[in-house]
Copies of this chain bind each other. A is one copy, B any other.
């Protein structure tokens, strides 16, 4: 295990996923909980020298005011999703993280997200390049102050609208646009990604926002020699689609229609009330079926904000399929999962895995992380078990090389 401390810089540090992750890290660090839900706690990852939970130092950006402890507490008071004693016992940890937070940027984040921002943050006018510089400086200062060997920047902020203008494929074409507010096609999430790369930090995009997906951003990561991964954490309904659709394909059962109806009541849900933000999310949840099945069934995905559910997301899926002799049959499921509880351990997993790759000198897109994402960058394989096999294969080969090295 590395002796070095590693930084986790969260974009959207006051959100449910972020505070749940912090509460979890605090609990894991003092041995108060088992590492249930963490992929990296499974056997294949034991001998990889992944960074320890207590070696992680958390900081980040947010555009909202409000305390981390209050946000964490709402996972109990509103959602009944985390035991109150675990939250209270994490109070010191959360206070320490809070001292490391810096104001985010609302440049190019869309109206809906700007509405959520703290007044001072919303009022701060800056060019995209100025925002990048400011963010980069925050990350670099964080690494210096905490004497960190490496930093992983993770975007867990709310979903942005899709970019409204095309993004140049070459970084050289993109760079000059960064100085010009009105010409720059990059959304906020990509500004954070660029800032991370320029700070020598790796980047994980856990949201459906653009982040490091555009070609020019991928080029920037390569040039700065850092790895990155994304996008959109696969935590619930889409995970199930990527598990179930291959079964229909393998059995040559014809999926005629697949309807998914999602209801939940957290901040993410409120942001998705805006049709522009929702469009990005729905696309990310929907496209995989055709890829797995090899033909396009009729699909419908809806996402509705239902206040009383808090952080709990209920997905009802209805699959209508045709079998032998033309007989039609039906499969339905109901998934009652807690969004942040499902997402937070995956964020920790991604931090540990991306940091390990960074340490080993990997750069560019980490395609073997596909199983964590709804829309894995540069990967067309959507079958979950095949994606898991990619991860296992990496773990096996990394374990071998690790053993040879150490």
> Contacting A302 at CB < 8 Å: which of B257, B261, B345?
B261
* Count class of interface residues, chain A: 35 or more
Cβ proximity bits A242-264 to B, threshold 8 Å, 1 near / 0 not: 01101100111110110101010
Q: How far is the CB of A136 from chain B (nearest CB, A)?
A: 31
Task: Find chain B residues with CB under 8 A from A275 CB.
Answer: none
Q: Is the CB of A328 within 8 A of B259?
A: no
Cα distance A328–B336 in the bound complex, in angstroms: 10
Q: Is the CB of A243 within 8 A of B252?
A: no
A20 at the interface (CB under 8 A from B): yes
Task: Find chain B residues with CB under 8 A from A174 CB.
Answer: none
Query: With A247-B243, A325-B20 in contact, is A256–B332 under 8 Å at CB?
Result: no
Q: Is the CB of B320 within 8 A of A338?
A: no
Query: With A318-B316, A329-B341, A336-B330 in contact, is A324–B38 under 8 Å at CB?
Result: yes
Cα distance A110–B55 in the bound complex, in angstroms: 58
Interface residues of A in 330-388 (CB under 8 A from B): 330-338, 341-342, 344-345, 371, 383-386, 388
A209 at the interface (CB under 8 A from B): no
> Contacting A82 at CB < 8 Å: which of B41, B256, B327, B330?
B327
Q: Is the CB of B325 within 8 A of A23?
A: yes
A104 at the interface (CB under 8 A from B): no
Stretch at the interface among A29-37, A112-120, A139-147: A29-37
Q: How far is the CB of A12 from chain B (nearest CB, A)?
A: 18
Q: How far is the CB of A15 from chain B (nearest CB, A)?
A: 16
Cα distance A300–B84 in the bound complex, in angstroms: 31
A322 at the interface (CB under 8 A from B): yes
> Contacting A257 at CB < 8 Å: which of B308, B322, B383, B386?
B308
Task: Find chain B residues with CB under 8 A from A307 CB.
Answer: 256-257, 298
Cβ proximity bits A54-78 to B, threshold 8 Å, 1 near / 0 not: 0000000000000000000000000
In terms of DSSP, what is the predominant structure of the interface of chain A? mixed
A80 at the interface (CB under 8 A from B): yes
Cα distance A302–B316 in the bound complex, in angstroms: 13
Q: Is the CB of B304 within 8 A of A300?
A: yes
Q: Is the CB of A332 within 8 A of B333?
A: yes
Residue of B nearest to A383 (CB): B385
Task: Find chain B residues with CB under 8 A from A338 CB.
Answer: 323, 327, 329
A169 at the interface (CB under 8 A from B): no
A148 at the interface (CB under 8 A from B): no
Q: How far is the CB of A80 from chain B (nearest CB, A)?
A: 7
Query: Chain A: residues with CB nearer than 8 A to chain B?
Result: 20, 23-24, 27, 33-39, 41-42, 80-84, 86, 239-240, 243-244, 246-247, 250-254, 256-257, 259, 261, 263, 298, 300, 302, 304, 306-309, 314, 316, 318, 320, 322-338, 341-342, 344-345, 371, 383-386, 388
8 sampled A-B residue pairs with Cβ under 8 A:
A20-B324, A33-B324, A36-B253, A37-B251, A37-B324, A84-B84, A330-B336, A332-B333
